[in-house]
Amino acid sequence: MAEHEEILERMRASIVAADETEAMAAAEAALAAGIEPLTALEEGFAGAIRAQGEAFSNLDIFLPELVLSAKAMQAGVSVLEPALKAKGIDAARSGVVVIGTVEGDLHDIGKNIVVAMLRSAGYEVHDLGTDVPIPNFISVAEQTKADIIGLSALLSTTMLRQKDLIELLNLKKIREDFFVIVGGAPVTEAWMNEIGADGYGLDAHMAIEVLDSRTK
Amino acid sequence: MASHNPLKILSEDQVQTIYQTALGLLENIGVVFKEPRARKYYKKAGAMVDEESQRVRISADIIEAAIKQAPSKFTVHARVPENNVEVDFQKLHIEPMIGRLNILDIDTGERRRTALQDVADLVRIADAMENYHLIHSGAIMPAIEGVPLHASHAYGYLASVRNTGKVVKCSPRGRQTAEDCIRMAAVLAGGEDELRKKPHTFTTVNPVTPLQHDKGQTEGLIEYASYGIPIDVTSEPQAGATAPVTLAGLLAQQTADILSGITLAQLVNPGTPVWYGTCGTIMDMKGGLIALGAVEAGLINAASAQIAAHLGIPCRGTGSVTDSKVLDIQAGYEKAITLFMATLGGINCLFYPGVLEHALTISLESLVIDNEICGMAYRALRGIDVNEDTLAVSEITEVGPGGNYLGQKHTMEFLRKEQYMVKLSNRFSREDWMSRSGGKSVWDQAKDEVRRILQEHEPPSLDTDKEAELETILKEVEARGPEPSRVSL
């Protein structure tokens, strides 16, 4: 058991050190040593990334450190995933998110921060990048069995595309299948209400809060 | 004459190295242009264009030819000719911020959405301020509360030109918006031909750093350039987030962003006036937000002005800006530090006075306070004249040991040239301050000043025929209705 604890500690350390290679090696070691994949996920990676998230909130670490920790976690989890799946366990404990910056808009730094925070909060995130045509959000969401679609837009002109997504979901009669969250500098509560989105985030913290407290 | 950029952050060699690095980035990595017409212009000029990735790789000879075509001096016309702005990389003009989504309400101190009346008030204040020249306007706002989104540029423009005789800025966001704005500016100019000869507006195009140009703004760039209307191509890199964390790398990347936009403007219409524009700063890594009031922004501005001067192109930069949410000490020091580094660094068009909160929020009081800080920057730029009159040896001789200069004609003669006369800053004794104003802070003094100006200041009236024409255009834009939904199964 001491060996197990040592490996779990290695996993945690790899997240804090934001070391992708070490996170993958530690995850392999965990599986090889017979640690339950769910234990490895929860006690190895998840706790460590949550702690990094808290450290960021407490201003003890800076954003690049959190982003790199989330990247290390993603790499490590990819090693655990087949074993988790074999046991019927979903690694995405908090939800599956399809996210991107809408068509016509190339701004993505805010969206990238949200992605890192979502990953550190246990979401499986499919990041489609920038300038994403609206139908792509829906097709990927259907393929990945996502429950959340996140749309970012920095410009008041491209913000209109967020409305298009809701309309398209309505047309396809699958609106109720997804929690739609919108974000970006021009996005307001009034805009969310106007287009009929389920939530909006003024920043990454708010986005996570909204998603964590969703009931849909 | 005082040097226009006494604060030299970079050596000549460093400027050259950054510029050469930028040329290398443009040739080897290239930039993405989402607008097909931009790629066509570049292809015709001999750039390597990959249609699939939309990547354009531009050789140094194309860039350098364009730099030569870009004028080092140009005029932006105002409807009142005394307010024309003669842009020159030896001069400083100031562009206060007007159009933000939020305004700090002067009465409640709360942040709320900016409405059309606010736009009118903000522009009227900017009209009254002696240090403001190029008016960022309601036309370029993301949205105006209570106004249909698809017509906000037209409403914003009209509310702005009604309230100032100074140069009013227009929006480049998308072809239609640009066309509407140009039509309206042509009314002020007295027709489209006149507008081509005398640009009565200017605009900003922001490459989406790193190394990208979106479709909408590039459409706008092409429209404005085809009329020869001045464009500032302003990159907005955030060190550590959208640019290398190292400022040298940020400057190289930013220069590549800007030069690819400036070159396109010259390919569309050789000789189109442009600014090399920076809104570069750091990302605050505690919260993941842009830190516009950071000292690093000051360094980037001063360095940018040197790079632009090296190219012989005027430089637009940022200053008098803060990330503070209120007009507190942080607002004061951030505004002053960024303003002074940028202006003493040689920036020719200084953008941002009037803003708070990462430039998300505008404030009437801040416009008035910042005007005073800008006055100090102008004073600092004038430097110290050293000649026989200013050395004042005959006055020193006359006064002699132990005398004083209050009664000297020389004092009266030079006082207003040598000293910047502050209006809001409080330099009275405590007792005097109490008896004059009841001990008001600068913020409260500024509130009084705003209310006074709004009551007393009459902007030069707009020709009624032109106003009617602008109203007709506005109605057409509004009647066009919102952009139709693009959605279909």
C-alpha R_g of chain B:
23
Alpha helices (runs of H) in B214-287, residue ranges in sequence order: 215-226, 247-268
Yes or no, beta carbons of A172 and B142 under 8 Å apart = no
Note whether B237 and B114 are within 8 A (CB): no
Place of tokens 């070159």: B263
- A206/A99 same-domain check: yes
- A124/A160 same-domain check: yes
Count of Cβ atoms closer than 10 Å to residue A91 Cβ: 18
Out of B173, B212, B486, name the one closest to residue A157 (CB).
B173
Q: What is the CATH number of the domain that holds A47?
A: 1.10.1240.10
B237 vs A contacts (CB less than 8 Å): none
Binding-face residues of A in 176-195 toward B, CB within 8 A:
185-186, 188
Cα diameter, chain A: 58
**Domain limit, last residue, from A86, A115, A136:** A86
- A108/A205 same-domain check: yes
- A69/A110 same-domain check: no
Reduce the secondary structure of chain B to three states and give it as a string. CCCCCCCCCCCHHHHHHHHHHHHHHHHHCCEEECCHHHHHHHHHHCCEEECCCCEEECCHHHHHHHHHHCCCEEEECCCCHHHCEEEECCCCEEECCCCCCEEECCCCCCEEECEHHHHHHHHHHHHHCCCCCEECCHHHCCCCECCCHHHHHHHHHHHHHHHCCCEECCCCCCHHHHHHHHHHHHHHHCCHHHHHHCCCCCEEECCCCCCEECHHHHHHHHHHHHCCCCEEEEECCEECCCECCCHHHHHHHHHHHHHHHHHHHHHHCCCCCEEEEECCEEEECCCCEEECCCHHHHHHHHHHHHHHHHHCCCEEEECCCCCCCCCCHHHHHHHHHHHHHHHHCCCCEEECCCEEHHHCEECHHHHHHHHHHHHHHHHHHHCCCCCHHHHCHHHHHHHCCCCCCCCCHHHHHHHHHHCCCCCCCCCCCHHHHHHHHCCCCHHHHHHHHHHHHHHHCCCCCCCHHHHHHHHHHHHHHHHCCCCCCCCCC
- A12/A110 same-domain check: no
Note whether B247 and B239 are within 8 A (CB): yes
The answer to ipTM > 0.90 is no
Q: Which of B208, B246, B282 best tests the A interface by mutation, with the highest count of A CBs <10 A?
A: B208
The distance of B143 to chain A (nearest Cα, Å) reads: 7
- According to the model, what pLDDT value does residue B1 have? 42
B150 touches chain A (CB under 8 A): no
- According to the model, what pLDDT value does residue A216 have? 67
**Domain limit, last residue, from A86, A107, A138:** A86
- A184/A133 same-domain check: yes
The distance of B486 to chain A (nearest Cα, Å) reads: 7
> Minimal Cα distance from B238: which residue of A?
A109
Out of A63, A106, A160, name the one closest to residue B285 (CB).
A63
A158 vs B contacts (CB less than 8 Å): 216
For domain B67-382, the question of CATH label 3.20.20.480 is answered with yes
Burial B186-200 (b: 16+ CB within 10 A, else e): bbbbeeeeebeebbb
pLDDT by residue (tens digit) across A102-128? 999 999 888 998 998 898 888 999 999
> Minimal Cα distance from B150: which residue of A?
A157
B146 touches chain A (CB under 8 A): no
Out of B34, B143, B487, name the one closest to residue A167 (CB).
B487
How high is the mean pLDDT in each 10-residue block of chain B (489 residues)?
Answer: 78 98 98 98 98 98 98 97 95 96 96 96 98 94 91 96 97 94 97 97 97 96 98 98 98 98 98 98 93 98 97 98 97 98 97 96 98 97 96 97 96 96 94 95 97 98 97 97 79
Coil, helix or strand at residue B85:
strand
Q: Which two tokens stand for residue B218?
A: 């590039």
User: Which residues face B277 on adjacent strands?
Assistant: B234, B316
Sign of the torsion angle spanned by Cα atoms B212, B215, B216, B217: positive
Cα(B29)–Cα(B52) distance, rounded to whole angstroms?
15
Count of Cβ atoms closer than 10 Å to residue A56 Cβ: 25
The distance of A106 to chain B (nearest Cα, Å) reads: 6
Cα(A166)–Cα(A183) distance, rounded to whole angstroms?
14
Binding-face residues of A in 5-64 toward B, CB within 8 A:
59, 62-64
Task: Select the more confidently predicted residue: B484 or A200.
Answer: A200
**How many helices (DSSP H) and strands (DSSP E) are in chain A?**
10, 5
Cα(B257)–Cα(B217) distance, rounded to whole angstroms?
13
- A61/A105 same-domain check: no
Cα(A181)–Cα(B367) distance, rounded to whole angstroms?
36
Yes or no, beta carbons of A167 and B283 under 8 Å apart = no
pLDDT at A205 over 50: yes
Query: Could you list the residue range(s) of the whole structural domain that residue A8 is in?
Result: 2-86
For strand B361-362 and strand B355-356, is the pairing parallel, antiparallel, or unpaired? Answer: antiparallel
- A103/A168 same-domain check: yes
**Among candidate residues B467, B487, B431, the one with its CA nearest the CA of residue B188:** B467
Yes or no, beta carbons of A185 and B488 under 8 Å apart = no
| Residue B320 region by backbone torsions, left for phi larger than 0, else alpha for psi between -120 and 50, else beta | left
**Among candidate residues B150, B147, B214, B206, the one with its CA nearest the CA of residue B177:** B150
A68 touches chain B (CB under 8 A): no
Beta-carbon contacts of B194 under 8 Å, excluding residues fewer than 6 positions away, are B186
- A81/A158 same-domain check: no
* Neighbour-count burial of A136, counting CB atoms closer than 10 A to its CB (0-12 exposed, 13-18 middle, 19+ buried): middle
- A197/A99 same-domain check: yes
Out of A64, A107, A158, name the one closest to residue B240 (CB).
A64
Q: What is the CATH number of the domain that holds A136?
A: 3.40.50.280
Beta-carbon contacts of B100 under 8 Å, excluding residues fewer than 6 positions away, are B114, B141, B355, B359, B360, B361, B362
**How many separate domains does chain A show?**
2
Cα(B489)–Cα(B484) distance, rounded to whole angstroms?
15
Cα(A41)–Cα(A37) distance, rounded to whole angstroms?
6
Q: Which two tokens stand for residue A187?
A: 């996005």
**Domain limit, last residue, from A41, A67, A86:** A86
- A78/A15 same-domain check: yes
A107 touches chain B (CB under 8 A): yes
pLDDT by residue (tens digit) across A3-51? 999 999 999 999 999 999 999 999 999 999 999 999 999 999 999 998 9
The distance of B243 to chain A (nearest Cα, Å) reads: 11
Domain with CATH 3.20.20.480 in chain B: 67-382
